[in-house]
C-alpha cells in the first residue's frame, strides 16, 4: 500500500486521506486502485457505517489526476497508460456514485479534475471556506471528465456549459449553487466533525457544524450565462460574447480564446448529451471516448507541455480556431471507445 493515500478504520468510519500535500494531493494510478480496493472491502463490512475522504495539508483536497506519467508515456508514443488510468479512475467514480453506504467528502483548498471525481459523486459533500473548485481541462486539451459532465449537466440553466468551458473557479457557495457540494462548514470545524462521525457513524452531525458560506459569485451572472451559453455551438457563444463589453463577458471570452478549440466544442456536446441521458455511467462513457484519444489524436500532450511541463502558457493547438476544427474530428473524438 502506498503512503500517498492513508486508508484505515477509525471507530465506525472507513477513513481515506489523500496524502501528497506537496503535490496538492494529485491522484496517481496507485492511489486510485488503493481507494477502490478499500471501498470494495468496506462495502460488506458491517463494522463500518460510512466512509470519510479528505486531503492532507492546507492547500488542497485534490488538485486533479497526476498526469505526469501519462504525459511521459505519451510523448514516447505509448498511449496505453492514459487509457488504463482513465479506465480505473472512471470505474472508481461510478462506484462512489452508487456506493451503498454514506460517503462523506470533506473538501478544502484547491479541487480540480480528479478531485471532483472522488468528492462530487458522494452522498454527502461538505465544502469548507477555503475551497476553490474548477474544471480547467479545456486548457490542457482535455474535457471535464471523472463524471463531471454529469454534474455540469445538472447545474441550473446553462451554468454547466459556462463552468466546463471556461474553467471558472468556484468558491464554497458557488459549489453549492452549482451542485458540486451540499453543505458548508468552517475549515476549523473539520476535526470535530470527523471525530463525531467516527464515534457515532451518524452523518446528521454535518448539520450541527453547518454554517452559511460567504456569498457566491455566480448568482449575479446566471441571466447573462443563460443568454450566452444556451447558444447552439461554441462559435455562436464566442460571437455573442464579442458583442458584450461588461467585465464578466470579457473574462469569459478571454478564457475561451485561451483554451483548446477542439476541447471546447467537445465539452459543449458532452454536457448536452449528459443532460439528455442523465446517468453517471453514460457521462463517463462519453468522456472516455475523448480522453482515451486525447494523447494520440487530440491536444493533451501539447496542452500539458505548455501549462505544466514548460509552463510557457503558449500551446500550439492542432486547430488554431474553431473554424479550423473539422466536424469529422469532433465526431471521431466523441465516438464510443
Exposed, middle or buried: residue 91 (CB in 10 Å: 0-12, 13-18, 19+)? middle
What's the Cα-to-Cα distance from 101 to each of 12, 209, 276, 303, rounded to whole Å?
Answer: 12, 21, 28, 38
CA dihedral 71, 74, 80, 86 (to 10 degrees): 30
Q: Is 294 within 8 Å of 67 (Cβ atoms)?
A: no
* Sheet containing strand 183-185, strands side by side: 5-10, 13-18, 50-55, 103-107, 124-128, 183-185
Query: Residues with catalytic annotation?
Result: 65, 114, 137, 145
Exposed, middle or buried: residue 265 (CB in 10 Å: 0-12, 13-18, 19+)? buried
What's the Cα-to-Cα distance from 69 to each of 81, 136, 283, rounded to whole Å?
Answer: 8, 19, 25
What's the Cα-to-Cα distance from 217 to each of 168, 221, 237, rounded to whole Å?
Answer: 11, 8, 21
Q: Within a 10 A sphere around the Cβ of 133, how many other Cβ atoms? A: 26
Q: Is 7 within 8 Å of 1 (Cβ atoms)?
A: yes
Amino acid at each position: 500500500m502506498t503512503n500517498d493515500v492513508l486508508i484505515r478504520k477509525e471507530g465506525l468510519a472507513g477513513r481515506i486521506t489523500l496524502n501528497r500535500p506537496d503535490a496538492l494531493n494529485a491522484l496517481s494510478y496507485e492511489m486510485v486502485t488503493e481507494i477502490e480496493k478499500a471501498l470494495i472491502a468496506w462495502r460488506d463490512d458491517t463494522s463500518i457505517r460510512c466512509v470519510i475522504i479528505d486531503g492532507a495539508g492546507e492547500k488542497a483536497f485534490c488538485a486533479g489526476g497526476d498526469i505526469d506519467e501519462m504525459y511521459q508515456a505519451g510523448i514516447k508514443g505509448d498511449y496505453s497508460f492514459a487509457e488504463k488510468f482513465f479506465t480505473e479512475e472512471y470505474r472508481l467514480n461510478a462506484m462512489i456514485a452508487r456506493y451503498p453506504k454514506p460517503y462523506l467528502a470533506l473538501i478544502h483548498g484547491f479541487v480540480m479534475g480528479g478531485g471532483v471525481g472522488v468528492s462530487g459523486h458522494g452522498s454527502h459533500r461538505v465544502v469548507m471556506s477555503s475551497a476553490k473548485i474548477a474544471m480547467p481541462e479545456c486548457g490542457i486539451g482535455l474535457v471535464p471528465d471523472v463524471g463531471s459532465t454529469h454534474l455540469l449537466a445538472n447545474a441550473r440553466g446553462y451554468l454547466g456549459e459556462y463552468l466546463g468551458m471556461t474553467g471558472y473557479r468556484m468558491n464554497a457557495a458557488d459549489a453549492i449553487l452549482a451542485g458540486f457540494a451540499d453543505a458548508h462548514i468552517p475549515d476549523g470545524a473539520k476535526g470535530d466533525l470527523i471525530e463525531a462521525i467516527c464515534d457515532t457513524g451518524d452523518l446528521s452531525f454535518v448539520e450541527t457544524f453547518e454554517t452559511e458560506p460567504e456569498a457566491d459569485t455566480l448568482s449575479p451572472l446566471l441571466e447573462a450565462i443563460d443568454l450566452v451559453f444556451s447558444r447552439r455551438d461554441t462559435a455562436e457563444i464566442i460571437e455573442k460574447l464579442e458583442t458584450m463589453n461588461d467585465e464578466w463577458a470579457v473574462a469569459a471570452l478571454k478564457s475561451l480564446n485561451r483554451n483548446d478549440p477542439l476541447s471546447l466544442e467537445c465539452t459543449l456536446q458532452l454536457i448536452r448529451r449528459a443532460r439528455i441521458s442523465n446517468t453517471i455511467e453514460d457521462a463517463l462513457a462519453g468522456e472516455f471516448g475523448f480522453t482515451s484519444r486525447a494523447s494520440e489524436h487530440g491536444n493533451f500532450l501539447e496542452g500539458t507541455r505548455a501549462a505544466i511541463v514548460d509552463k510557457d502558457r503558449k500551446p500550439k493547438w492542432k486547430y488554431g480556431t474553431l473554424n479550423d476544427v473539422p466536424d469529422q474530428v469532433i465526431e471521431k473524438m466523441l465516438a464510443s471507445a
